[in-house]
């Protein structure tokens, strides 16, 4: 049984891989993990974008493998600074191989990241602020725009200031993702992350897979 850990800015998600299926998925706010991490075991594969938690994970398991561009991977990395490529993006690029040798990953959470894999080679992508980041930024840099609740509305026109912000956010993210999809048309598109399913429904194409990052970690385990 291997623990697969996705340590993100908002949550730390853990599932266990028994060699065939995923078991016992849990989700813990990242801030709480800084105080106490309730999971322990023999072995863990970790995709972490929160380096300050790495020592916590090392103490919880006898053997840890941190996803990065230096370990054996089922995909090649074609990137200017592969050592700076986020572990989550690497794991997701490996996970897309469940859908073929090429594909587009759309990870929608704290940020919205769209990455492209062509013939088992990660070739790069785009990074956008997520819904909460856009809404907070508009509130911080203006005196009259409120900070609104973090949800999508993609029906024009907005009928209040709050609705206009939500519509603008939705259309901006939707348009950016569609631009990538059009440039690399014909590739499977897989959405993941907290807002992934909503974004997929707005665009009307693609597949939603909440376990994509964990599937990528499994492929990394098999590559070792």
Fold observed for domain 1-66: Nucleotidyltransferase; domain 5 (3.30.420)
Beta pairing partners, 11: 29
Closest CA to 107 of 83, 125, 123: 125
Closest CA to 73 of 56, 85, 61, 62: 85
User: Taking 80 as the threshold, does the pLDDT of residue 52 lie above it?
Assistant: yes
CA gap 163, 1 in Å, rounded: 47
pTM above 0.95, yes or no: no
Could you state, in order of their start, the residue ranges of all structural domains in the chain?
1-66, 73-219
Q: For residues 116-134, give the mean pLDDT.
A: 93
Please tell me the predicted confidence (pLDDT) of residue 224: 64
Closest CA to 74 of 121, 27, 36, 37: 121
Closest CA to 47 of 104, 93, 7: 7
Instruction: Please tell me the CATH superfamily of domain 73-219, with its number.
Output: ATPase, nucleotide binding domain (3.30.420.40)
- DSSP alpha helix (H) spans, the chain: 30-33, 54-60, 87-95, 131-141, 161-183, 196-203, 212-223
* 159: alpha, beta or left? (left if phi > 0; alpha if psi -120 to 50): alpha
Domain 1-66 shares a fold with domain 73-219: yes
Order the strands of the 22-29 sheet from edge to edge. 22-29, 11-17, 2-7, 41-48, 61-66
Backbone angles phi, psi at 48, to 5 degrees: -125, 130
User: Taking 90 as the threshold, does the pLDDT of residue 125 lie above it?
Assistant: yes
Q: Which of 70-74, 81-85, 154-158, 220-224 has the lowest mean pLDDT?
A: 220-224
Please tell me the predicted confidence (pLDDT) of residue 167: 87
Q: Which of 84-88, 111-115, 146-150, 198-202 has the lowest mean pLDDT?
A: 146-150
Q: Is 62 exposed, middle or buried (0-12, 13-18, 19+ CB in 10 A)?
A: exposed
Between 147 and 111, where is the model more confident? 111
Please tell me the predicted confidence (pLDDT) of residue 147: 75
CA gap 165, 74 in Å, rounded: 41
Residues 6+ apart with CB under 8 A from 15: 3, 4, 22, 23, 24, 25, 26, 211, 214
């Amino acid at each position: 049984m291997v623990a697969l850990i996705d340590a993100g800015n908002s949550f730390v998600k853990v599932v266990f891989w028994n060699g065939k299926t995923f078991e016992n998925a849990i989700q813990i706010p990242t801030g709480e993990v800084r105080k106490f991490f309730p999971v322990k075991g023999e072995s863990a594969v970790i995709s972490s974008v929160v380096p300050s938690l790495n020592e916590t994970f090392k103490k919880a398991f006898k053997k840890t493998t941190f996803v990065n561009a230096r370990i054996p991977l089922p995909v090649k990395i074609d990137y200017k600074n592969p050592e700076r490529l986020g572990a989550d993006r690497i794991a997701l690029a490996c996970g897309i191989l469940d859908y073929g040798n090429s594909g587009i990953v759309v990870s929608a959470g704290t940020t919205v990241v769209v990455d492209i894999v062509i013939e088992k080679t990660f070739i790069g992508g785009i990074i956008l602020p997520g819904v909460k980041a856009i809404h907070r930024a508009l509130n911080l840099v203006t005196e009259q725009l409120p900070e609104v609740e973090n949800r999508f509305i993609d029906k024009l026109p907005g009928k209040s200031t709050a609705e206009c912000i939500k519509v603008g956010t939705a259309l901006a993210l939707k348009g950016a993702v569609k631009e990538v999809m059009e440039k690399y048309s014909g590739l499977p598109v897989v959405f993941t992350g907290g807002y992934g399913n909503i974004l997929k429904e707005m665009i009307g194409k693609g597949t939603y897979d909440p376990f994509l990052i964990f599937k990528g970690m499994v492929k990394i385990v098999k590559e070792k």
